[in-house]
Structure 1
Amino acid sequence: MNKYDIEEIYSEPIQAFTIWMKQSGYTEATRKEYMREVYDYLLSLDELPVQQAGKLHVVGFLVSKQESAGDKTRNRTLSAIRSFYASLIDFELTTRNPALEVKKSKTEKNKIPVYLEEQDLQKALSYVEGRYRNRNLAIFLLMGYCGLRVGEVHRLNLSHFKKEKGTLEVLGKGRKWNEIPLPALVGEYLEKVQEERIQPYSSKEEAFFVSQKGRRLSIRQIQKITTQVFNGYKQDHPHMTDLKLSCHKLRHSFATMLLNNNVDIRVAKELLGHASIETTMIYTHINDEQKRSAMTTIEVPRI
């Protein structure tokens, strides 16, 4: 059975999922990734109606992929299937979500996020260079010092920056709006970006960050800008070479910074735009310096 067979057999569920993801504000990259996972899942059902599939079918599919996939991939696949069934429930095509009965991998769930210490984050800023330095620096600051996701940076419009109030309106996951107070310096760089903003190709383009071709800066372009900064930083800091840094690691750094500065976890949750405080809890890890400091309080007797 090929892709076209699947589209014919499961045309209504696929259509429902496609519409639901767009309506829910999923990024294009996530939609493609989730749809690919769901196509593989539907193939494994061997023409069984999705309404009749249960926990056994979901687990069986995950196990079939387990040999070639790690915990992170398994959890992503499970999230895709959960979302798929959520869309079917929303459009009244089924009444239950068997994927909710399957637990996520604890190994990945409990893994400490990769992040930059505050001093390393500060040093990395000096590696933002080039013709569009102010624009790129503003992007870096929004992720590292305001906790924005790469998709949220991509979706920013001119009207979202409230200069007088010193805030930024952010369209997050699930099309939920969040108003974030901006550090003064970040606000200053956003003003510079507005002043230097390239004239968009389309007069109706409201994008805050515009590419040199006059179009909204894509997620891929934002990721490329961040990667270039990190590559330059790693060249001069060999101890960071093996650290996998990305846009999302800047968000991890911001979250860790908040909690290390004793910000109430409920406030951190709101700033990060998390749906659940459990998600914010993964950032309450203890760093090496805190461990060393704790151990200096221990007095070992001389024998």
Structure 2
Amino acid sequence: MTWDEKIKDFENFLKFERNFSENTLDAYLRDIKKLRDYSERDLENTGPLHISYENIQEYLFQLSKQKFSERTQARWISSIKAFFNYLSEDEIREDNPSTLLEGPKLGLYLPDTLSFHDVERIINAIDVSTDLGKRNHCMIEVLYGCGLRVSELIDMRISNINFKELYIKIDGKGDKTRFVPLAEFTAKLIKDFIRDVRMKNKINKRFEDILFLNSRGSAMSRVIVFIIIKELAEKAGISKKISPHTFRHSFATHLLQNGADLRYIQEMLGHSSIATTEIYTHLKNEELRDVIINYHPRNRVANG
């Protein structure tokens, strides 16, 4: 996994999910490319998955000796933190080497989630009278119903779906295989999509086993899925910035809210460490805090 691959993914993330302006986007990418150049030149070509906190700290120390302004140095740290927060959120890295860097206080990073009502609003915004709409409806239901990463969604194979036993075999990050339970509702949607939509279209021979295809009969890209979800959110009147990963976060959060054990959620998400899954307990604690602030009688008296 190279710097250039991850920088390109980061660029798409900032552009389509964070809606960065061109100037800010260029600045962030320029900062990360400088870190890439340093890594390739001075760290024996260490990649983005293996660069350490100490490596980054030394890089920033070397830059600081060149008498850049404090504002510029703060932006370097913001750019680096944003890049490794992205890799951590997208579960490309289990750890985050930028966490201890001194810079702008970002606080605990909590992923955005949707309420179940918001998920339904997005699904109801899909025009299912068209084949494209039926494909998009099935994609959203699979994202939310199975808690998949976007890369797992676009690589999903029909041969890995067991309709009899109701599970999907997922070849996840780091070549780790897991088996995700499939709700009967979602299984029926997939069957209907294959029969009524997918089988009618011309399919590129290389992608005959891939479930979700574009209009040319080839595999879909991550960027297209981002764009589809962004447009559906706008159509549904949801103002928060969401991405395919938001449905994965929502899947885990809703399971936890409804009493699922954290260990089972860890298995379904394919997290190698329970620490990664524990971020969702922070989301639940945030929700509990809001309930206390809004509904506890002492707070009501105080806010009079």
Alpha-carbon distance, 1:207 to partner: 1.0
Structure 2 residue matching 1:221: 3-state secondary structure:
helix
What amino acid is the match of 1:67? A
Alpha-carbon distance, 1:253 to partner: 1.0
1:220-299 equivalent positions in 2, closer than 5 A = 220-234=223-237, 240-241=238-239, 243-284=240-281, 285-286=283-284, 290-291=288-289, 293-294=291-292, 296=295, 298=297
Paired residue for 1:145?
A: 145
Going from structure 1 to structure 2, the CA distance change for 1:297 and 1:172 (only over 3 Å counts) comes to: same
TM-superposition CA deviations, 1:98-157 (whole Å, max 9, x none): x99864569557222111111111222101224322211111012222211111101111
| Mapped partners of 2:165, 2:204: distance in 1 | 30
1:50-69 equivalent positions in 2, closer than 5 A = 50=44, 57-62=55-60, 64=63, 66-69=73-76
What amino acid is the match of 1:168? I
1:127-276 equivalent positions in 2, closer than 5 A = 127-129=125-127, 130-195=130-195, 196-197=197-198, 198-202=201-205, 205-234=208-237, 240-241=238-239, 243-276=240-273
Q: What TM-score does the superposition give when structure 2 sets the normalisation length?
A: 0.69
Paired residue for 2:14?
A: none
| Mapped partners of 1:48, 1:119: distance in 2 | 51
| Mapped partners of 1:167, 1:111: distance in 2 | 32
Q: 29, 40, 43: which one pairs with 2:34? A: 40
Structure 2 residue matching 1:111: 3-state secondary structure:
coil
Alpha-carbon distance, 1:38 to partner: 7.8
Going from structure 1 to structure 2, the CA distance change for 1:101 and 1:147 (only over 3 Å counts) comes to: closer
* Largest Rg, 1 or 2: 1
| Mapped partners of 1:42, 1:301: distance in 2 | 53
| Mapped partners of 1:214, 1:289: distance in 2 | 43
Aligned length: 254
Structure 1 residue matching 2:111: 3-state secondary structure:
coil
Going from structure 1 to structure 2, the CA distance change for 1:75 and 1:229 (only over 3 Å counts) comes to: closer
The unaligned stretches of length 5 or more in structure 2 are: 11-28, 64-71, 88-92
What amino acid is the match of 1:148? L
Structure 2 residue matching 1:189: 3-state secondary structure:
helix
Going from structure 1 to structure 2, the CA distance change for 1:105 and 1:179 (only over 3 Å counts) comes to: farther
| Mapped partners of 2:117, 2:52: distance in 1 | 49
Is 1:122 the equivalent of 2:120? yes
Going from structure 1 to structure 2, the CA distance change for 1:112 and 1:194 (only over 3 Å counts) comes to: same
Paired residue for 1:30?
A: 6
Q: What TM-score does the superposition give when structure 1 sets the normalisation length?
A: 0.69
Alpha-carbon distance, 1:213 to partner: 0.8
| Mapped partners of 1:220, 1:71: distance in 2 | 24
Going from structure 1 to structure 2, the CA distance change for 1:60 and 1:145 (only over 3 Å counts) comes to: same
| Mapped partners of 2:290, 2:107: distance in 1 | 26
| Mapped partners of 2:202, 2:36: distance in 1 | 46
Identity %: 22
| Mapped partners of 1:268, 1:117: distance in 2 | 18
Structure 2 residue matching 1:180: 3-state secondary structure:
strand
Structure 2 residue matching 1:50: 3-state secondary structure:
coil
Question: Does the 8 A contact of 1:117 with 1:253 survive in 2?
Answer: yes
| Mapped partners of 1:228, 1:217: distance in 2 | 17
Going from structure 1 to structure 2, the CA distance change for 1:104 and 1:182 (only over 3 Å counts) comes to: farther
What amino acid is the match of 2:235? G
| Mapped partners of 1:221, 1:110: distance in 2 | 30
Going from structure 1 to structure 2, the CA distance change for 1:189 and 1:287 (only over 3 Å counts) comes to: farther
Question: Does the 8 A contact of 1:156 with 1:208 survive in 2?
Answer: yes
